[in-house]
Amino acid sequence: MIDILLTQPAPAAIDARLQASYTVHRLYEAADREAFLDDVGPRIRGVVTGGAKGLSNALMDRLPALEIIAISGIGTDAVDLVQARRRGVHVTTTPGVLTDDVADMAMGLLIMTLRDLASGDRLVRAGRWGSVAQPLARKVSDIHLGIVGLGRVGHAIARRALSFNMTVHYTDLHEQPTSGYCFVPELIGLARCSDVLVLAASADQGQAIVTEEVLQALGPDGYLINVARGKLVDEPALVAALANGTIAGAGLDVFADEPHVPEALFGMDNVVLQPHRASATEQTRLTMGEIVLKNLQACFSRAPLLGAVTI
């Protein structure tokens, strides 16, 4: 059987099917990674990984027989695509199938953050209802929403926003005149005209685009929602902006150095935190896993791949 490497756990049903067709090696269970890679590395022909986890060049170098990196996700920012192409290694993703879940998470975080739902929950559980004055929250309907990245996820967020009577503006590398939404070429300009800025962009360029200046432009009544990548944000600047009132609050599913979250955020009531789980529903993760299985099978039988990434 062909040897494949899993960098992170797969849903049980997908794992069982992988095991039925391949010899599965689990990097995430290896006690001594070096010894493990010395042993199995030369035999590995396929890697199954996540969008955020990807595959470092150092690890790719340990896999001389590698033919495919099957990403269970849409982000390709954690794989060096140039190096993969140089090596003749296919890279595939699972486009389309997680769009709704990620957009739902963006709206969920937006509502949770603006309406202080987590604080309300904590107040009730602590038995403090009735004993303290409850601060009023921020209205969600009718706001100005700024979407950073009008791709599949950005569009799905925009569609949801319209049903909340929000005004949608966006920025992206190029204007999409047929979208019907208002294009703002500069992120700083978008931040200035938005009550809520939501990040739905890819992080392939690798740099932090949400800087201190962008947070200042968003302003003391503005909120940041991030369902894309933590590295899109200058995280220390965000922590400072939340602490000193430069912005009103944030809903974050992603962080610069996962699973590490700046501890300063833990004590902030104006922040809602999630452990990078926007696509983590049973239904979607199974569908993503199906695509991964199909891509492995297609690769090893020299058939056309689904969601092959080209550069």
Task: Give the active site residues.
Answer: 229, 258, 276
- Does residue 106 sit in helix, strand or coil? helix
| Nearer Cβ to ligand 8YV (114/293) | 293
Which residues are CB-contacts of 223 (< 8 A; sequence separation ≥ 6)? 110, 113, 114, 138, 195, 196, 197, 247, 248, 249, 250, 251
- Asked if 25 is part of the footprint of ligand 8YV (rule: CB under 6 A), the reply reads no
CB of 220 to ligand 8YV, least distance (A): 31
Which residues are CB-contacts of 287 (< 8 A; sequence separation ≥ 6)? 94, 97
| The one segment of 21-29, 45-53, 144-152, 216-224 that binds ligand 8YV by CB under 6 A | 45-53
C-alpha count within 13 angstroms, C-beta hemisphere, residue 142: 2
CB of 126 to ligand 8YV, least distance (A): 32
- Asked if 74 is part of the footprint of ligand 8YV (rule: CB under 6 A), the reply reads yes
CB of 51 to ligand 8YV, least distance (A): 2
Q: Which residue has the tokens 């208002």?
A: 182
- Asked if 109 is part of the footprint of ligand 8YV (rule: CB under 6 A), the reply reads no
**Paired tokens of 72:** 């269970």
Please state, in angstroms and rounded to a whole number, the distance separating the CA atoms of residues 301 and 71. 18
- Asked if 52 is part of the footprint of ligand 8YV (rule: CB under 6 A), the reply reads yes
Contact 297, 272 (CB under 8 A): no
- Asked if 270 is part of the footprint of ligand 8YV (rule: CB under 6 A), the reply reads no
- Of 194, 274, 279, 295, which one interacts with ligand 8YV (CB under 6 A)? 279
Please state, in angstroms and rounded to a whole number, the distance separating the CA atoms of residues 53 and 73. 10
- Asked if 41 is part of the footprint of ligand 8YV (rule: CB under 6 A), the reply reads no
CB of 252 to ligand 8YV, least distance (A): 14
- Of 6, 18, 66, 75, which one interacts with ligand 8YV (CB under 6 A)? 75
Contact 118, 112 (CB under 8 A): yes
| Nearer Cβ to ligand 8YV (231/276) | 276
Own/partner contacts of 238-244, CB < 8 Å, gap of 24 or more, are 238/210, 239/264, 239/265, 240/212, 241/212, 241/215, 241/216, 242/268, 242/270, 242/271, 243/268
**Paired tokens of 66:** 């590698």
| The one segment of 13-21, 26-34, 46-54, 128-136 that binds ligand 8YV by CB under 6 A | 46-54
| Nearer Cβ to ligand 8YV (41/230) | 230
| The one segment of 19-27, 50-58, 158-166, 182-190 that binds ligand 8YV by CB under 6 A | 50-58
Q: Which residue has the tokens 């390709």?
A: 76
CB of 64 to ligand 8YV, least distance (A): 25
Contact 72, 49 (CB under 8 A): yes
- Of 73, 249, 289, 307, which one interacts with ligand 8YV (CB under 6 A)? 73
- Asked if 105 is part of the footprint of ligand 8YV (rule: CB under 6 A), the reply reads no
- Asked if 54 is part of the footprint of ligand 8YV (rule: CB under 6 A), the reply reads no
Interface residues with ligand 8YV (CB under 6 A) are 50-52, 72-75, 98, 276, 279
